[in-house]
Structure 1
């Protein structure tokens, strides 16, 4: 089971960006060697830097927040219980300066405040996928930083099998169809890579 990472800790797009860059530059080098439209090749050479830059930025951001989370987890945790999950959509800019909708999920967790021992609710950082679907138990560990405002959630209990009953039942009104374009985007991305690979093999 993959480790559950928050949206800011995730490097999900890095492999796609790196593979795309490698294929892009292989095709570009072939064109330069065959002396076909050198000027155009130089333009594409510069354009190919963009996905590499995006990959580096995502890696730097993920490493930074993973380090912060490790520091917070040096403190003793409190027990919490996931009681619900909020789903929202945000606009994300693509390489083509367009935008697409992506879903993000925030866990609502109930825990004792440690002073009055009254139950309080906190909200997790956003995740890019519905993490509750792989959990066998709503019980989690909650780590809080010195400010008391930032929380790190860990200590998840995973299902042994995908078919096992989860902590929530899927809500058809909440899931809907056609709201999250991330799968469509991944399919388009895969098709582009296949086309590039076919071009290389034919060359």
Structure 2
């Protein structure tokens, strides 16, 4: 159950959303839905703001950011739960009693048209999601004693990788390499970096 302060904040945001004309609301939501369907690299809030300004609507930058975040979260959640247009409207009405009928009609229509595509894109992203390398550290060591290794006094490199999983959890992985293996690893990393600069 949301607190009174959260409910008040949501109601203020909904008031700002409902002041938008149906066309302007649809235009802003289209930007977000196109992004969530994987057709653009992000939501350009500057472009949305520019369209609002051309239509004569002046919104504080922070309010515009809040509206964009609200619809990103709402549509992501609806996609994850595979909600219908009716279910989305019901959920929005449960969150605030300030929604105008015109705004809910716009959201119902847009979600009915694009909801299935957003859901499908989220399923694809979940299947393809892999961890992201955020830090790599290395140190040089020397094997001086071992129960299993016969060649002592040979240098080795220990690599420590920090990886952020799609869940947001950070994991650390470490492994050891001989000097020739590390040199080959370094060479391959340089080649990958060169290729990525051309993309």
TM-score grouping bracket, smaller chain normalisation: under 0.3
Computing the radius of gyration over CA atoms, which structure comes out larger, 1 or 2?
2
Relative to its length, the structure with more helix (as a share) is: 2
Length-normalised TM-score, structure 1? 0.23
Q: Which structure is richer in relative contact order (CA contacts within 8 A, separation 6 or more)?
A: 1
TM-score (normalizing by structure 2): 0.24
Indicate the structure with greater strand content: 1
